[in-house]
Amino acid sequence: MKPNCISLPRRLTPLAARQHSILKAIMHRAAGLAVVCALGASSLSAQAIQYIESRKVWLLSTGQSSYAMGVGTDGALRHLYWGAPLWRAEDLQTPAERRDISSFDPRQMLEAEEFPGWGGPRYYEPALKIARENGDRDLVLRYLSHRIQHNDLDIVLKDLRDPIEVTLHYRVYADHGILRRSATIRNGTAKALTVESAQSATWNLPPGEGYQLSYLSGRWAAETQLNHEPIHEGSKVLESRKGHTSHNFNPWFGIDAGNATEENGRVWFGALGWSGNWRITVEQTPYRQVRVTGGLNSFDFAYPLKPGESLETPPFYAGFSQSGFGGASRTLHRFEREQILPGGATSRLRPVLYNSWEATTFNVNEAGQTALADKTAKLGVELFVMDDGWFGARNDDHAGLGDWFVNPQKFPQGLKGLIDHVNGLGMDFGLWVEPEMVNANSDLYRKHPDWVMNFPERPRSELRNQMVLNLARDDVKEYLFGVLDKLASEYNLRYFKWDMNRSFSEPGWPEVAPAEQRKLWVQYDRNLYEILDRLRAKHPKLEIESCSGGGGRVDLGILQRVDEVWTSDNTEAFDRLRIQEGFSQAYAPKIMSAWVTDVPNMNGRSTPLAFRFLTAMQGALGIGANLNHWTDQDSALATQMIALYKRIRPAVQTGNLYRLASPRTNDVTVNQYVAGDGKLAVVFAFRHSQQYDTAAPTIRLRGLDERAVYRVEAIDNKLIEKQPELSGAYLMDVGLNVNLRGDFDATAVVLERQ
Ligand code: GLA
């Protein structure tokens, strides 16, 4: 099959390739020209997975990366390559057998195994560890068979003696530059066994020195802080043991060859799709091999498999960028928007939302919410969300969680009146729920004290006065589905804000046999996913926000079931710039819920309303302020900003993000968003704290068409360039200057291609 090739001037690549929608491309460099070979859909799927039977090697390719593995002469599946696109599977070598260096350095430690079991002389992090009933724990995996269907490859490995099988699943998202891996572990023996560690994948980096790890860490109200550090010999473990994805580490990694910048250099990256306990181990062996192993956390893990039973690990997605961290995150963002989020590319732009929490806390009632809704609608808000406090005996955080019926004192006529009113104002209505939790002071707990996770006769730790229901139990799952289904059926709800305000403790499940109890870590999340999937299937218009005291449950597993996430309970705009910078490494701006709230905020800091708006407008804009306290001037500015946001929203939510200046290293933060069709772009610029009367640095834009002319529109008088039109080349090579002065000054510039 002959690919259809066109030639483009090298200067335009890869932007031009994108603009010409040649995303299914394999790029060959030729002198002075970049030749882009666009493959048709059918030829693309044939090319996405190449297999050479005589050598037993597989080459998996996307438009921007390739990945290869092969079977060694001993039958082990070895990793061969991960990096820039290769196009010729014939080039791949059948992995040669290595020799022991010494009796302490066996050959197994030198071979990049694709999915190593714990067995034989292997001392690195295994992808799978099991224990048989008789105490035998040795597992050595060998290639058995494989199957290719379209862009899916399944490779079956089997223990060298027993019918313990692992099917490695690979899916090539050829148009999106992403490879998905997961594994199904099956007990084909006649005896029970216990899985002690079940990872989704081991990713081997190319042999090399000087790798650097990027990862996200934090805590409540300080999530997704970006870290870069050298990888040294030994292991670095990123994980959650808390039952949810966690405010601490987020299941994303980036590894670069030591010299990548925002827009240049090679970056290998990955993200797990799991909302429970997870772990990613980044390891450099004494033989200079860097490996990343990730999947279910093996801490407190023991998953029994009876004969014939199997365990499926969560998906682990990965990709490779030659355009630095910016390229890596743009790849992930597009993949999430088009392949992960419910509705994919067809899902609507996120509406401008109002949330009552910071205005009224638990003190909600029909009159107060109606008054807020009236003010909200005038600003141009599209979705009104009533937060905590509307149900049970919920006047503070000591009571009511679990009792999901409308509080009759606060809403004597139920919610219908309020919802009709909100709908009459032209807004959709959304409701806060926290289904997984219960207060001791609730009817539900009084009736079902056994429904919370617990170890009998042990204390049940309360955090925020609440306990966690054991959602691994099917009766709890059915009950919660029923409660939410009833609310969604009874009322015209467009949106649930699904909260989860504490981590697990005492994760006991006394109703099942002791050997089965630790299945809770997995079953809880499966049931959570099932409820979300069933709710969405039954109520197709219902949208869901994942919140866990802010960004405590943000990962590619939950994102297959929700439309946006609450980024952080910290809405202080300056702190947010860093939280959002880290968040954007892994997650698309479209899902990043960001509110404008009142000041002084966290840190006792007061930033101007325009600074707060421009910060929040870089994601899915929401307002969380107490509108009753706003002046007419505040409302006028808000109305203007919301109108502007609606204009630039397609660029922000579905465009390409270029992080031009980082809040970690500069006195300014600058981010630029370019719409997918290149017609609209917006630049947000923030000055944190000016010193010595220095001017803000010149902003050189990216991702524009250098031959095009753009109409440049300042939203205020802070843009120094006064020409209404500038070329892409000028904007990218000379740049723009903004007059940002003092503390917390901000502006935005809108560009429209002429
Ligand atoms: C959590 C959320 C907040 C709010 C409160 C309500 O803290 O993150 O946004 O919904 O719960 O109790």
The DSSP-derived string for 331-357 is HHHHHIIIIISTTGGGSPPPPPEEE-H
Residue closest via CA to ligand 1's atom 2 equals 549
Q: Kindly state the average pLDDT of the residues 500-509.
A: 98
The answer to whether residues 622 and 354 touch, using CB atoms and an 8 Å cutoff, is yes
Q: Kindly state the average pLDDT of the residues 199-209.
A: 97
For residue 467, the CA-to-ligand 1 centroid distance in Å is 16
Strands 383-386 and 353-355: parallel
For residue 499, the CA-to-ligand 1 centroid distance in Å is 7
Q: Kindly state the average pLDDT of the residues 652-667.
A: 97
Model confidence at 498, pLDDT cuts 50, 70, 90, reads: very high
Classify the C-alpha dihedral 600-606-607-609 as positive or negative.
Answer: positive
Residue given tokens 């001791």 in the structure block = 440
Which pLDDT value is given to residue 45? 38
Which pLDDT value is given to residue 12? 34
Distance CA 173, CA 159 (A): 30
Distance CA 243, CA 17 (A): 43
For residue 378, the CA-to-ligand 1 centroid distance in Å is 25
The answer to whether residues 576 and 544 touch, using CB atoms and an 8 Å cutoff, is no
**Nearest ligand 1 atom to alpha carbon 569:** 8
Q: At what angle do helices 520-538 and 474-490 cross, to 10 degrees?
A: 20
Q: Kindly report, residue by residue over 247-286, the tens digit of the pLDDT.
A: 999 999 999 999 999 999 999 999 999 999 999 999 999 9
pLDDT at residue 9 tops 50: no
If one residue of 547, 570, 572, 602 were mutated to test the ligand 1 pocket, choosing by the most ligand atoms within 8 A of its CB, it would be 547
If one residue of 388, 395, 401 were mutated to test the ligand 1 pocket, choosing by the most ligand atoms within 8 A of its CB, it would be 388
pLDDT at residue 675 tops 80: yes
pLDDT at residue 11 tops 70: no
Which pLDDT value is given to residue 97? 85
Which pLDDT value is given to residue 35? 31
Q: Kindly report, residue by residue over 23-62, the tens digit of the pLDDT.
A: 333 333 333 333 333 333 333 434 899 999 999 999 999 9
The two structure tokens encoding residue 676: 């997918």
Residue closest via CA to ligand 1's atom 11 equals 549
CB-count exposure of residue 11 (10 Å: 0-12, 13-18, 19+): exposed
For residue 549, the CA-to-ligand 1 centroid distance in Å is 6
Classify the C-alpha dihedral 361-366-367-370 as positive or negative.
Answer: positive
Q: Kindly state the average pLDDT of the residues 335-339.
A: 98
If one residue of 223, 247, 357, 363 were mutated to test the ligand 1 pocket, choosing by the most ligand atoms within 8 A of its CB, it would be 357
CB-count exposure of residue 225 (10 Å: 0-12, 13-18, 19+): middle
Length of the chain: 754
Residue closest via CA to ligand 1's atom 4 equals 357
Residue closest via CA to ligand 1's atom 6 equals 388
Distance CA 482, CA 467 (A): 20
Residue type, 376: T
Q: Which residue(s) pair with 426 in the sheet?
A: none
pLDDT at residue 2 tops 70: no
The answer to whether residues 438 and 452 touch, using CB atoms and an 8 Å cutoff, is yes
For residue 622, the CA-to-ligand 1 centroid distance in Å is 14
Q: Kindly report, residue by residue over 409-442, the tens digit of the pLDDT.
A: 999 999 999 999 999 999 999 999 999 999 999 9
State the virtual CA torsion across 200, 231, 589, 502 in degrees, nearest 10.
70
pLDDT at residue 551 tops 70: yes
Distance CA 691, CA 166 (A): 60
For residue 272, the CA-to-ligand 1 centroid distance in Å is 25
CA proximity to 331, closest of 652, 556, 586: 586
Q: In 136-192, at which residue ranges do the beta strands (DSSP E only) sit?
A: 141-149, 152-159, 164-173, 178-187
For residue 347, the CA-to-ligand 1 centroid distance in Å is 26
| Catalytic residue status for 474 | no
Residue closest via CA to ligand 1's atom 12 equals 388
Model confidence at 358, pLDDT cuts 50, 70, 90, reads: confident
Residue closest via CA to ligand 1's atom 5 equals 388
**Nearest ligand 1 atom to alpha carbon 624:** 9
Quickly count: other Cβ atoms within 10 Å of residue 277's Cβ.
25
Residue closest via CA to ligand 1's atom 9 equals 569
The answer to whether residues 154 and 167 touch, using CB atoms and an 8 Å cutoff, is yes
Q: Kindly state the average pLDDT of the residues 167-192.
A: 98
Which pLDDT value is given to residue 95? 83
For residue 619, the CA-to-ligand 1 centroid distance in Å is 19
pLDDT at residue 88 tops 80: yes
Q: For the chain, what is the mean pLDDT?
A: 94
**Nearest ligand 1 atom to alpha carbon 566:** 8
Quickly count: other Cβ atoms within 10 Å of residue 559's Cβ.
23
Does the bond joining 14 to the residue before it have cis omega, within 30 degrees of 0? yes
The two structure tokens encoding residue 456: 């009998």
Classify the C-alpha dihedral 507-476-451-469 as positive or negative.
Answer: positive
- The beta-carbon contacts of 406-410 under 8 Å, at least 24 apart in sequence, are 409/365, 410/364, 410/365, 410/366
Q: Kindly report, residue by residue over 91-145, the tens digit of the pLDDT.
A: 998 888 899 999 999 999 999 999 999 999 999 999 999 999 999 999 999 999 9
Q: Kindly report, residue by residue over 280-303, the tens digit of the pLDDT.
A: 999 999 999 999 999 999 999 999
| Catalytic residue status for 100 | no
For residue 571, the CA-to-ligand 1 centroid distance in Å is 12
Q: Kindly report, residue by residue over 601-659, the tens digit of the pLDDT.
A: 999 999 999 999 999 999 999 999 999 999 999 999 999 999 999 999 999 999 999 99
State the virtual CA torsion across 648, 650, 656, 659 in degrees, nearest 10.
30
Quickly count: other Cβ atoms within 10 Å of residue 43's Cβ.
16
Q: Kindly state the average pLDDT of the residues 517-540.
A: 98
Q: Which residue(s) pair with 203 in the sheet?
A: 292
The answer to whether residues 183 and 158 touch, using CB atoms and an 8 Å cutoff, is no
If one residue of 364, 387, 546, 568 were mutated to test the ligand 1 pocket, choosing by the most ligand atoms within 8 A of its CB, it would be 387
The answer to whether residues 701 and 683 touch, using CB atoms and an 8 Å cutoff, is yes
Distance CA 61, CA 143 (A): 21
The answer to whether residues 281 and 338 touch, using CB atoms and an 8 Å cutoff, is no
The two structure tokens encoding residue 724: 């209404």
CA proximity to 56, closest of 38, 42, 75: 75
* Residues having CB within 6 Å of any atom of ligand 1: 357, 387-388, 432, 499, 501, 547, 549-550, 566, 569
Which pLDDT value is given to residue 721? 97
**Residue 56: φ, ψ to 5°:** 50, 55
**Nearest ligand 1 atom to alpha carbon 397:** 12
From the list 175, 388, 569, 575, the catalytic residue is 569
If one residue of 501, 566, 567, 593 were mutated to test the ligand 1 pocket, choosing by the most ligand atoms within 8 A of its CB, it would be 501
Please state, for a pLDDT cut of 90, what percent of the chain lies above it: 93
Residue closest via CA to ligand 1's atom 8 equals 549
From the list 499, 525, 563, 745, the catalytic residue is 499
For residue 580, the CA-to-ligand 1 centroid distance in Å is 19
**Nearest ligand 1 atom to alpha carbon 550:** 8
